[in-house]
């Protein structure tokens, strides 16, 4: 079978790009430990405030250097809207939504997840430098979407 030179070049280029993408994926997942935020459970969105741990949103120290943040998103606020954690602490955010799909993104970090009513999301991050980070909802959730933000203060 005769394969045209241009076709051969196209196939080789395609193969190289595919191999590079697979290598980048393997490196970021296995080498850098980047993963999608996990969906760790289901919850009745109508009973979020009656269901543990969401009946007590806030920041809790769970061990030396380890903190847990329980967060509820609802149109158009995060609860709590302000999080204070010490630097170098491993912070696990456990969050859900009571109404529509919201987003949770902390600027200048890899914390970025979708908060879906009925699902519980979890993500862990270590804040290495003191300072303030804006925490925003990045899924359009209605007329007050642009006012839905909070902050993370690393002390
Ligand atoms: Cu909540 Cu946009």
Calculate how far, in angstroms, residue 132's C-alpha sits from the geometric centre of ligand 1: 20
pTM of this structure:
0.78
**Calculated CA dihedral for residues 8, 11, 13, 14, nearest 10 degrees:** 170
Q: Count Cβ atoms within 10 A of the Cβ of residue 113 and give its class: 0-12 exposed, 13-18 middle, 19 or more buried.
A: buried
For the stretch 89-146, pLDDT in tens is 999 999 999 999 999 999 999 899 999 999 999 999 999 989 999 999 999 999 999 9
Angle among Cα 86, 115, 46 to the nearest 5 degrees reads: 110
| Residue 88 to residue 126: CA distance in whole angstroms | 6
Q: Is the CB of 148 under 6 A from ligand 1?
A: yes
pLDDT at res. 135: 95
Alpha carbon nearest to ligand 1 atom 1, residue: 102
For the stretch 22-61, pLDDT in tens is 999 999 888 887 777 667 788 898 998 888 899 999 999 9
Supply the DSSP symbol for 21. H
Q: How is residue 79 written in tokens?
A: 């609860």
Q: Is the CB of 133 under 6 A from ligand 1?
A: no
Calculate how far, in angstroms, residue 14's C-alpha sits from the geometric centre of ligand 1: 39
Calculate how far, in angstroms, residue 51's C-alpha sits from the geometric centre of ligand 1: 22
């Amino acid at each position: 079978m005769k394969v045209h030179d241009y076709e051969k070049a196209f196939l080789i280029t395609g193969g190289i790009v595919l191999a590079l993408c697979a290598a980048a994926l393997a490196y970021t997942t296995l080498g850098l430990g980047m993963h999608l935020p996990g969906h760790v459970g289901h919850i009745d969105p109508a009973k979020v405030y009656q269901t543990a741990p969401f009946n007590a949103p806030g920041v809790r120290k769970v061990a030396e250097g380890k903190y847990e943040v329980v967060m509820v998103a609802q149109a158009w606020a995060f609860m709590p809207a302000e999080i204070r954690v010490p630097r170098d602490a491993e912070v696990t955010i456990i969050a859900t939504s009571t109404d529509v799909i919201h987003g949770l993104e902390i600027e200048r970090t890899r914390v970025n997840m979708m908060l879906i009513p009925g699902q519980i999301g979890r993500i862990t991050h270590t804040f290495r430098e003191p300072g303030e980070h804006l925490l925003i909802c990045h899924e359009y959730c209605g007329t007050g979407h642009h006012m839905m933000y909070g902050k993370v203060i690393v002390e």
